[in-house]
Structure 1
Amino acid sequence: MAAVVTYLVIFTVISSALAYDPDMLQDLCVANTSAGELDVGFITTANKLISKTVKKGEVFVFPRGLVHFQKNNDDKAASVISAFNSQLPGTQSIAMTLFTSTPAVPDNVLTKAFQVGTKEIDKIKTKLAPKKS
């Protein structure tokens, strides 16, 4: 009986050691320690925008698998350290996420990302807006 218990304990320990996620990193952003600020944010699966201005030396972590952005607030080049790594990234509708979040992703982020004007951004938002009954 003791041999069976010992075997089960060893099997459990080995199984646990082999059944881990080798990619435990979240996506993260570290602001350059000598230059400008970054606007960063992500959109939750409940379609809520969480954003912040990251200042010199601060860190911002993006939860795995969520749509996120980083935008330089200066006209000079910015440096960031980013890690994008996930074994199970999941999926999310980017168009609905980016154009219908609450609060809204700033228009200047969307115009820069999609290289279009605010009129086009407004058209997309209007078309994707939930229909009122």
Structure 2
Amino acid sequence: MDTHFHFLFALIFLALATPIAFANDPSPLQDTCVAVNDSKYGVFVNGKFCKNPKLATADDFFFAGLDIYGNTSNRLGLAVNPVTVDQLPGLNTLGLSMSRLDFAPYGLNPPHIHPRGTEIITVLEGTLYVGFVTSNPDNRLITKVLNKGDVFVFPIGLIHFKYNKWKTNAVAIAFLNSQSAGVITIANAVFGSKPSISDDVLAKAFQLDKKVVDYLQAQSWGDN
């Protein structure tokens, strides 16, 4: 009887703990919670006010444009067309988002993290070299060359990148398990913060001369 009790208790604990341990965005408790910016609609969920579900329309759950090639004429050779809750209000509380990534030849999606989501991508055109770095103390670099139809996943919170090191364009679709996963581009955050991080701190952290740090901080990181 005692063994049965402990087994039952363990099952109940796992049943209760699993959603907390593995869920990312909170689970919805109603069919829809279309995001709106007007407080008169009342309920505030996940940083957005909810439209009355009875007033929701098909357009609240619709987005067009992922078939359009992005403008990659920038220094990174990258265009990102996001579909988060800001572009598709019907995503609110559903824990999903996506984006289209266009790469010019030698285009780069620089090292970055998504603080609130795991990312999975599939290549639609071309070839990409992708990878992520595991956390301390190992800091293992895990990389793969992806061709059309290949899929790769970047675990939540880990630094990762995507690079088109070939002479042809590349296109990928990314999915994230958050309606607004956020993005922190490492170079922007470290050298382009406002106000700037002390060059004493960065010089010691990166083992660089202060003049090198000052030079890096003087660059334009806003469009990186």
With normalisation by structure 2, the TM-score equals: 0.30
Structure 1 or 2: more strand by fraction: 2
Relative CO higher for 1 or 2, CA cutoff 8 Å, sep ≥ 6?
1
With normalisation by structure 1, the TM-score equals: 0.46
